[in-house]
Amino acid sequence: MKPDCALDGSIPVFVFPSAINFYLEDYSSHKQVLTIYNPYEFPLRFKVLCTDPRKYNVIDPEGCIKRGCCIDIVIRLVAVNPAYLNRVDTFRIQMLDQGSKQILGKRDVLATFFPGGSPESAKHPQAENEDFKSLQGVGSIGSSLPGDRSRQSQHKQGRAVESRSQGRANQGSEPNKLIMLCAACVCIAALLLPLQGDTKSILPPDLHVSVNLKLLCAYIFGVLTILIVRS
């Protein structure tokens, strides 16, 4: 099934995330990943453009996406210069017909370079410049004081409570991850089903789905993929 010429520049383009942020002090944020989806029943070519390409390194900025598939594009910030702080660049993802290379759709993704660290790294600060000193074990100083024994007992009890809490949290996260995996499998199955009106399919018409349903499943599958990877 080929795209109709009337769809020139009008088909939706699905990209996740919709914006990317780089942070000066968070080196892990200098590498971002864009996922481009093709929920349609025909292969598409993609092309990544940028308003300031000298600041970024994009691996494989052009290529082909098979029908019902997606591809990850790695974007690296190479110009880590404070002069570029708070500037907004735009990445444009173009979707083209594989044969004629006619532009069928486009989507813009904003890229911003912020000062400081990312909000995620601020939640887990690293003590890099602290003046650490070595500690002596209790057994190396002979006998411990009664107060020390009391604090040791309280510390052990605290660790036991923390371990039980972590165990309950892990038990609760496993079913959630299983549900997300099942939902992702359902989305994949829906994307593989034929479109309504496809006369070449051997499946019964009841199993044919609409384009809108496939687009919805592609979006949900992208969100679930990110959640599963982060968990």
Residue type present at position 69? C
Residue finishing a domain among 93, 117, 141:
117
* 179 has pLDDT over 80: yes
Q: Give me the domain span that covers residue 108.
A: 5-117
191 and 96 assigned to the same domain: no
User: What does the alpha-carbon distance between residue 94 and residue 214 come to, in Å, rounded to a whole number?
Assistant: 20
112 and 17 assigned to the same domain: yes
**For residue 48, what pLDDT is reported?**
95
**For residue 63, what pLDDT is reported?**
94
Strand partners, 151: none
- Residue 145 covered by a domain: no
Please, which pLDDT band fits residue 150 given cuts at 50, 70 and 90?
low
User: Dihedrals φ, ψ of 91, to 5°?
Assistant: -100, 130
Q: Where is pLDDT greater, at 71 or 198?
A: 71
CATH number of residue 101's parent domain? 2.60.40.10
Domains in the chain: how many in total? Answer: 2
112 and 183 assigned to the same domain: no
Residue finishing a domain among 117, 138, 163:
117
- Residue 208 covered by a domain: yes
19 and 90 assigned to the same domain: yes
Helices (H) and strands (E) in the chain, counts: 3, 9
Sheet order of strands, 44-50 included: 19-23, 103-114, 88-97, 44-50, 62-65
- Residue 94 covered by a domain: yes
- Residue 203 covered by a domain: yes
111 and 190 assigned to the same domain: no
Of all residues in the chain, the percent with pLDDT exceeding 70 is 71
Q: Where is pLDDT greater, at 102 or 6?
A: 102
